[in-house]
Every structure is written in C-alpha cells, then in structure tokens.
C-alpha cells in the first residue's frame, strides 16, 4: 500500500509473526518536511497508550537512511476503499464504526494530541469488524488556546475552515473532520455541494453556507444523529462540540448504545 510519503509492507519475523512495516518513500526523503513529519508521527503514536481502536505501535527508527515504523498488521481495508466498492459490511457495521471512530479520537484527545488528518483513508476496518485509527504524521499537541499550526497539512475536503485558512486551531478541527468523515460514510456524499472540487471548497469556506441535512440523502439516519453531525460541521468552532467526551455521550444516545 502506497501513500503520500510512505508505503506499507507486510513483514514477518523468524517466529512467523506478521507485522505492518511503514517505510518512507525514496522521493519523500528529499523533501524538507516529510522526514520530520514521519518521525513526529512515530513519536506521537509511541506516546499514546494502547487502545483497541488505535493502530498498535511496535517500534520505529532508521535503517540504511530509510525511516520506518513497525505496527500491528490488520487484515482488512480502509474505509475509503470499502466505500468505493460499496461494501455491504459498511451498512451492517455503521453504528459500530461510528462509535469506534469516536472512541479512538476521544483517546487521542484525552492524551493531549489532535490528529489533524482524519478521513476514511486513515481508518482501517478489520475482517472481524474492528476499527483502527492510523497515520499520525500531522498530529500536534492540543494547545491551551487555538493556535496557528507551524505547517499547513491535511486533506482539504476534511479540514476545518480555520485550519484551511491558517487561523488558530485546537481539538475542534478534529471534531469537524469527524463530522465530514461520518457524513460521508452515512450518505456517500461530501457535506458541501458543488459541480467541481473548487466550488465545493468555496462552499466549505463560506460561513453562510448551510450543509445539506444528511437525512436528505439517507432518511434512515436518526434525527438525533443528523443533529450531532450538523453540530460537528458548524463553520464556527465555538458552535461545535467543545470536546469528544460530550460528542461521545450524544453519539451513544443517538445510536441507542451504551
């Protein structure tokens, strides 16, 4: 599997154990920022306590000038792949996916970090139905008050407006991205309409734009869940959930789960 700055290989040890080995791309080594981002992501993951919905860290370092990260191997696919092929497991497991996604993000925030690149590609669903959040290259410590990032990174369609335009951000940028990803999982649409990617992005940055209610696309979505998603997607950070703990509480209520 190949990504922007790294590729992932399946590796085995002498005892036959199977692992995932993330290696920096040759082209990324020449970049000014990629090695630093890769190393930073490894450090963040190494500091996070283990969690059932977080990819398990096993070690990182440099071998023959190539940065690497050793992780647990998860037999499965990322949510973007499953969405593209319209895998029926998404409908069957959607409540579990949303709950696990929120739990992973709450764990990250509770331990002082914001992910800053939440999207379906960074969520792996195992064949057994377990979810793992991965790829912490862009993660940063949560500031005491909203602060400008030292570098702009992430994926535009999932980035909060304040993150896109270079204003101060905090954990509420992740809450926005949680809303975008969950909306897409539930409706197969992005929250912002537009005939072109540019038009969609312009609507995303327009404070007066109103997101299409997700029940317009999928009437099976509970009203309480629609309300939760729209709160996450508010243009103003002050109008979103203040933290994941409150969001998780409302999500459990909306889905009628404990």
In the chain the domains, ranked by start, together with CATH numbers, are 6-72 (3.30.200.20), 76-255 (1.10.510.10)
pLDDT by residue for the chain (258 residues), tens only, comes to 566 688 999 999 999 999 999 998 877 777 778 888 999 999 999 999 999 999 999 999 998 888 999 999 999 999 999 999 999 999 999 999 999 999 999 999 999 999 999 999 999 999 999 999 999 999 999 999 999 998 777 888 999 999 999 999 999 999 999 999 999 999 999 998 877 878 888 888 887 878 999 999 999 999 999 999 999 999 999 999 999 999 999 999 999 987
Q: How far is CA 255 from the centre of its chain?
A: 21
pLDDT of residue 210: 84
How distant, in Å, are the alpha carbons of 13, 118, 176, 227, 258 from that of 159? Answer: 38, 8, 7, 20, 30
Burial track 8-38 (b if 16+ CB lie within 10 A, e otherwise):
beeeeeeeeeebbbbbbbeebeeeeebbebb
Per-residue pLDDT at 206: 84
pTM recorded for the entire structure: 0.94
Question: Please, what sign has the CA dihedral across residues 179, 180, 185, 189?
Answer: positive
pLDDT value of position 193:
83
Q: How many of the other CB atoms lie within 10 Å of CB of 215?
A: 16
Q: What is the dihedral of CA 71, 72, 75, 80, to 10 degrees?
A: -40
Which backbone phi and psi does 156 adopt, to 5 degrees?
A: -50, -45
Can you give the pLDDT at residue 257?
84
- Integer Cα distance of 77 and 125 in angstroms: 6
Q: Residue 90 and residue 16: Cα distance in Å, rounded?
A: 32
Model pLDDT, residue 1:
59
């Amino acid at each position: 599997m190949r990504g922007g700055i790294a590729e992932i290989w399946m590796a085995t040890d002498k005892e036959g154990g199977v692992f995932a080995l993330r290696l920096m791309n040759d082209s990324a080594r020449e970049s000014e920022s990629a090695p630093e981002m890769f190393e930073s992501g490894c450090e963040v993951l190494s500091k996070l306590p283990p969690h059932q919905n977080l990819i398990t860290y096993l070690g990182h370092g440099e071998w023959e000038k190539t940065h690497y990260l050793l992780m647990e191997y998860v037999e499965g696919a990322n949510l973007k792949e499953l969405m593209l092929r319209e895998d029926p497991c998404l409908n069957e497991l959607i409540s579990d996916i949303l709950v696990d996604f929120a739990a992973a993000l709450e764990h990250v925030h509770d331990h002082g970090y914001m992910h800053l690149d939440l999207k379906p590609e960074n969520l792996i669903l195992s064949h057994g139905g377990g979810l793992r959040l991965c790829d912490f290259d862009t993660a940063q410590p949560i500031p005491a008050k909203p602060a400008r990032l030292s570098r702009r990174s992430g994926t535009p369609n999932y980035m909060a407006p304040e993150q896109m335009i270079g204003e101060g951000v905090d954990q509420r940028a992740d809450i926005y991205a949680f809303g975008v990803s969950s909306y897409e999982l539930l409706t197969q649409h992005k929250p912002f309409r537009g005939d072109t990617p540019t038009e969609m992005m312009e609507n995303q940055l327009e404070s007066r734009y109103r997101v299409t209610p997700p029940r317009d696309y999928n009437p099976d979505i509970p009203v309480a869940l629609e309300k939760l998603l729209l709160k996450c997607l508010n243009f103003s950070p002050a109008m979103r959930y203040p933290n994941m703990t409150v969001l998780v509480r409302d999500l459990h209520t909306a889905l009628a789960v404990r």
